[in-house]
Structure 1
Amino acid sequence: MPHTGTRIDAHVKVLDETVVERAKERGLDAIVYAPHFERLPTIRERADRFSDDELLVVPAREVFTGDWRNRRHLLALGLSEPIPDFITFEGAMAELERQDAAILVPHPTFATVSLTRPELDAHRDRIDAVGGYNAKLLPHQNRRARRVARDLDLPAFGSSYAHLRATVGEAWTAFETDLETPAAVVEAFKSDVDRRVVHRAGIEHRARGAIEYAHLAYENTWKRLDRLFLSGDDPTNPHSVFYEGRFDDVAVY
């Protein structure tokens, strides 16, 4: 019997025919596509190309705020205009609020790449949801994330945070209502619509999570070097011509 409501893997980094096929096999209705260091128009075009009647692909941006040593990630859905990386946290929050985007916090309190517990508490009225389960993280890290969401009375969301195709659909957010457009998904995350955080279980699930976690070493070592010396040609550099100087006063590089 077909399920009711909408199952959304709320944060994936990869998108192609294989990802779409896997998402459908896993029973997902939608995925949120938010690759690193890509401009919003590019993300939108790709999301539109891979959306169909069976799977909705929602474009989003995971914005890197602050510098490499002190960065805080924000997942933004429903953007109307591009926003760069490596601007101040407050500058990013102000721009996301100006655009009335849904502001989600992925992997809360994890390492040096997300908001700390005091920061989440200080900005709780500006945040729409926090990651309550991330297939890439270790069990104790996910337990801590769920505890933070519960203690701060913030809605949680589930995602695979897939950087690898095989991880798509390992976790998702299950909404009780049918969400058929990107705008409906954005509004659902901004509202108090009933939802559950769901994830697969078993040895295969744990193995996929371990492989994703190991992939962090690649993401944070030599690949990271590509971004340490930003140029004006970088698509999400705040000084890029794409942004026409609008973010120069809040750029950290």
Structure 2
Amino acid sequence: MTFRIDCHVKVLDDRVVERAKRANLDAIVYAPHFTRLPEIRERAAAYSDEELLVLPGREVFTGSWRNRKHVLAIGLEEPVPDFIPLEAAMAEFDRQDAAVVVPHPEFANVSLSETDLRTYADTVDAVEIFNPRHLPTNNCRARKLTAGLSLPPFASSYAHMPRSVGVAHTGFDVALENEAEIVTALADGIGRRVVYDNGLERWTTTAMELGHFAYENTWKKVDRLFLSGTEPTHPHHIAYDGRFDDVAVY
């Protein structure tokens, strides 16, 4: 493989970079929740160097807390907020010619369904068929969905903790030099392979990541709902200059 990329990482620090380089990755996509694109882009640039390219990504939290669906966009030029309908987010990604990839399809209650994938098949550029948070049944379902819809696959570590980075990645058979070339490779369906560790390291990572998932959906969720102020990626935030006020779900 010529170019190895972990397409979905939620954390970024020196340990993440060290792990990525140790796994011989060429790039990672940094896409934290509830963080505006300029901040993500600035942090990604600070951790990029000649050995590892860190790309900014936005996993947009569409819909409401009760009916939320996550979609990951790579190559955005303009910010897109959370808490807007899926159709509005997809239209904005399409307008900006971003690469649109679907993480964890049909996983828990935070993912695109088979119906969603069929509806937006012309906009979606790739679907995740492996991440270590998934159990084998989840990954099997994702593979069948992707194959049945003839959509290109990708894999990621979906790392919420530094030590998860490198457990899975996507390998392209062409040399890629920058963000624009990676976006094009994803959008054009260029040949790739999904690579992952399915041994003890994978299962250790799965246990840790699922524990973190439980935390995210209990106390952390309560904090988001009741203790925090307006999220920085809320569509009514001043940063969006009112462009999404008419489609905000809150």
- Report TM bin, short chain: over 0.9
Q: How far, CA to CA, are the matches of 1:74 and 1:233 in structure 2?
A: 21
Equivalent of residue 166 in structure 1, options 157, 163, 166: 163
> Given the alignment of the two structures, is residue 60 of structure 1 paired with residue 57 of structure 2, yes or no?
yes
Number of the residue aligned with 1:154: 151
Number of the residue aligned with 1:191: 188
* Alignment check: 8 A CA contact 2:236 2:244 kept: yes
Equivalent of residue 235 in structure 1, options 210, 232, 235: 232
Number of the residue aligned with 1:37: 34
Instruction: Report deviation, 1:225.
Output: 2.0
Q: How far, CA to CA, are the matches of 1:18 and 1:24 in structure 2?
A: 10
Listed one character per residue, the Cα deviations across residues 112-157 of structure 1 (whole Å, up to 9, x for unaligned) are 1111112211211111011111111111101110110001000010
Equivalent of residue 224 in structure 1, options 221, 236, 246: 221
Identity in percent: 59
Instruction: Report deviation, 1:229.
Output: 4.9
Q: How far, CA to CA, are the matches of 1:139 and 1:159 in structure 2?
A: 15
Q: Taking structure 2 as the reference length, what is the TM-score of the superposition?
A: 0.97
* Alignment check: 8 A CA contact 1:37 1:236 kept: yes
Equivalent of residue 121 in structure 1, options 115, 118, 123: 118
Number of the residue aligned with 1:77: 74
* Alignment check: 8 A CA contact 2:125 2:189 kept: no
Q: How far, CA to CA, are the matches of 1:218 and 1:231 in structure 2?
A: 16
Q: How far, CA to CA, are the matches of 2:229 and 2:223 in structure 1?
A: 14
SS of the equivalent of 1:192 reads coil
* Alignment check: 8 A CA contact 1:73 1:115 kept: yes
CA RMSD of aligned residues (A): 1.3
Q: Write the letter of the residue equivalent to 1:127.
A: V
* Alignment check: 8 A CA contact 2:146 2:152 kept: yes
Listed one character per residue, the Cα deviations across residues 75-108 of structure 1 (whole Å, up to 9, x for unaligned) are 0000000111011111111111111111111000
Instruction: Report deviation, 1:210.
Output: 1.6
Q: How far, CA to CA, are the matches of 2:141 and 2:231 in structure 1?
A: 35
SS of the equivalent of 1:124 reads coil
The runs of 5 or more residues in structure 1 that have no matched partner are none
Q: Write the letter of the residue equivalent to 1:39.
A: R
* Alignment check: 8 A CA contact 1:5 1:176 kept: yes
Equivalent of residue 245 in structure 1, options 234, 239, 242: 242
Listed one character per residue, the Cα deviations across residues 23-67 of structure 1 (whole Å, up to 9, x for unaligned) are 000111100100011000000000000000100101000000000
Instruction: Report deviation, 1:193.
Output: 0.9
* Alignment check: 8 A CA contact 1:232 1:241 kept: no
The runs of 5 or more residues in structure 2 that have no matched partner are none
Instruction: Report deviation, 1:8.
Output: 0.4
> Given the alignment of the two structures, is residue 10 of structure 1 paired with residue 7 of structure 2, yes or no?
yes
Instruction: Report deviation, 1:198.
Output: 0.7
Instruction: Report deviation, 1:192.
Output: 2.1
> Given the alignment of the two structures, is residue 211 of structure 1 paired with residue 200 of structure 2, yes or no?
no
> Given the alignment of the two structures, is residue 26 of structure 1 paired with residue 13 of structure 2, yes or no?
no
Q: How far, CA to CA, are the matches of 2:173 and 2:197 in structure 1?
A: 19
SS of the equivalent of 1:125 reads coil
Aligned length: 250
Listed one character per residue, the Cα deviations across residues 199-250 of structure 1 (whole Å, up to 9, x for unaligned) are 0121121111121012111111111123225987521011000001110111
> Given the alignment of the two structures, is residue 179 of structure 1 paired with residue 176 of structure 2, yes or no?
yes
Q: How far, CA to CA, are the matches of 2:183 and 2:227 in structure 1?
A: 31
Q: Taking structure 1 as the reference length, what is the TM-score of the superposition?
A: 0.96
SS of the equivalent of 1:235 reads coil
Q: How far, CA to CA, are the matches of 1:143 and 1:89 in structure 2?
A: 25
* Alignment check: 8 A CA contact 2:167 2:201 kept: no
